[in-house]
Chains A and B, each alone.
Chain A
């Protein structure tokens, strides 16, 4: 593959000191290559926001080396670090736009900070706003825009200094599903057009699935698993990966089902999706069942998740069904 653009070596971050110290990252090594869209996924508290902030040194790691674009950021002076940050764009969950400035001025802002003449900055900003589809909003203020539009402004702003890397910290977490997809599509397009390396921090597997080439799974403050998105989806090795990928870890409480007997069938990837298990059971026993809850997904033709069935009242039919499931070698249990 292409050359490495971000290299994290032995990154440890500890907040606080003494007995109140909290470890956010433990000896993390990570290499991200030029031009890829890299996802970092983890549940909250896994340290993913800290990890992304260690890339542009908004958080100074307690130990370890950060190399971006061939320069060792951890060895730079404050002044040189500021210069280097211009080649690392960043967008945030809360957009973080300047509320008292117009959309155009927001996009011009990083350029003006870098000393670009006003006229030139304006021209560049207009072009970028046009690219993200907001050329009609240049004179609006952020408060007049929707969340998705705000994030587009933030993307245009982050790209104004032609960065090599774009860091996205939960950039779609505050957006609805449709807007999330449109923002992800935009990131994908920009990645292709500008060859900008995109690092996406998220807690949503669907974000990773939609755009990322490779993904790292962060759990307990370290990288639990790393690979291409297909690899991880096909064969999640770590518990953390399975928890994130496999749905159905949460099901509704027993009380919500009402009276009757209920059966939970758990699919752990042994079942193929083209095998109609429940339908076969119904045909086999000649008695219908009602599916009261289902949360499943197929990964590479394998079925994961769980399903809750309401059993018929007849005891002999129930026995028959349980016998069928036992023979089919799926895991099941009665919901009590």
Chain B
């Protein structure tokens, strides 16, 4: 393979990976964040206890989380066709990626929200805050650093899932690694892809940690 050909392949793969990862993470947060807050709200010890609903929601989330991504990818094809109009290509992987990521994100959000000091919530209750105000104006802002850290973890996990997109004809760095590196035994391409993926994960993680640290006001500022 010529160098220019390889380069354009890698650049295309890089953008496809970013598109799949960021796109599905964004949609998954739109679903997972409210779900996570709903788990906290309806907890038996929560602001609006609904034990049965909470239990059912928890089981559904666990069920979705326990299906291996590679199986989910094939399973949800009818859904993908209905939403995206196609079952092949990078665009088609957005729906299975989102379905896999949303429950995972819901649990991450739930765990971040649980870290918020109960005393602060009690103080807000004593001021006459409604459950809605407590969720939006106490829990979310107070959990912000933890939510950002969780976001970085979610992003890197979804990046890993997106490498399997090649199975349904999706693109991205993972697909290149499998199609060229594995099937055509091009160890050079394989190595480059792995290094690129490692670099992207590192960048996501580092940027996420830094933002989380910088926005956390619990840390005393040094003069």
Docked CA distance A306–B125 (Å): 46
Binds A, one of B27-35, B114-122, B159-167, B183-191: B114-122
Closest residue of A by beta carbon distance from B131: A78
Query: In the complex, which residues 83-142 of chain B have their Cβ closer than 8 Å to any Cβ of chain A?
Result: 117, 119-120, 122-130, 133, 137-138, 141-142
Binds B, one of A88-96, A203-211, A242-250, A288-296: A88-96
Docked CA distance A114–B219 (Å): 30
Main secondary structure of the interface of B (DSSP, over half): helix
Query: In the complex, which residues 163-208 of chain A have their Cβ closer than 8 Å to any Cβ of chain B?
Result: 167
Size class of the contact patch on chain A: 20 to 34
Question: CB distance A113 to B220 under 8 Å?
Answer: no
Whether a CB of chain A sits under 8 angstroms from the CB of B213 is no
Question: CB distance B128 to A90 under 8 Å?
Answer: no
Whether a CB of chain B sits under 8 angstroms from the CB of A101 is yes
Smallest CB–CB gap between B140 and chain A, Å?
A: 10
Q: Which residues of A contact B138 (CB under 8 A)?
A: 98
Q: Which residues of A contact B130 (CB under 8 A)?
A: 82
Question: CB distance B123 to A86 under 8 Å?
Answer: no
Docked CA distance A165–B141 (Å): 29
Q: Which residues of B contact A83 (CB under 8 A)?
A: 128
Closest residue of A by beta carbon distance from B118: A96
Question: CB distance A56 to B126 under 8 Å?
Answer: yes
Whether a CB of chain B sits under 8 angstroms from the CB of A116 is no
Question: CB distance B122 to A92 under 8 Å?
Answer: yes
Do A97 and B126 contact each other (CB < 8 Å), given the known contacts A143-B218, A143-B219, A144-B220? no
Whether a CB of chain B sits under 8 angstroms from the CB of A122 is no
Contact of A101 among B117, B126, B141, B220 (CB under 8 A): B141
Whether a CB of chain B sits under 8 angstroms from the CB of A100 is yes
Q: Which residues of A contact B5 (CB under 8 A)?
A: none
Q: Which residues of A contact B127 (CB under 8 A)?
A: 85-86, 109-110, 113, 161
Question: CB distance A97 to B129 under 8 Å?
Answer: no
Contact of A99 among B122, B142, B221 (CB under 8 A): B142
Whether a CB of chain A sits under 8 angstroms from the CB of B144 is yes
Q: Which residues of A contact B126 (CB under 8 A)?
A: 56, 58, 85, 88-90, 167
Question: CB distance B119 to A86 under 8 Å?
Answer: no
Question: CB distance A82 to B129 under 8 Å?
Answer: yes
Question: CB distance A85 to B119 under 8 Å?
Answer: no
Question: CB distance B128 to A85 under 8 Å?
Answer: yes
Question: CB distance B220 to A96 under 8 Å?
Answer: no
Beyond A58-B122, A97-B120, A113-B137, 19 additional pairs, beta carbon < 8 A:
A58-B125, A85-B125, A85-B126, A86-B128, A90-B123, A94-B117, A96-B119, A96-B120, A96-B123, A98-B142, A99-B117, A100-B144, A109-B124, A110-B128, A113-B133, A114-B128, A141-B217, A143-B220, A154-B123
**Can you list 9 A-B contacts (CB < 8 A)?**
A81-B128, A96-B122, A98-B138, A100-B216, A100-B218, A113-B124, A113-B127, A143-B220, A144-B221
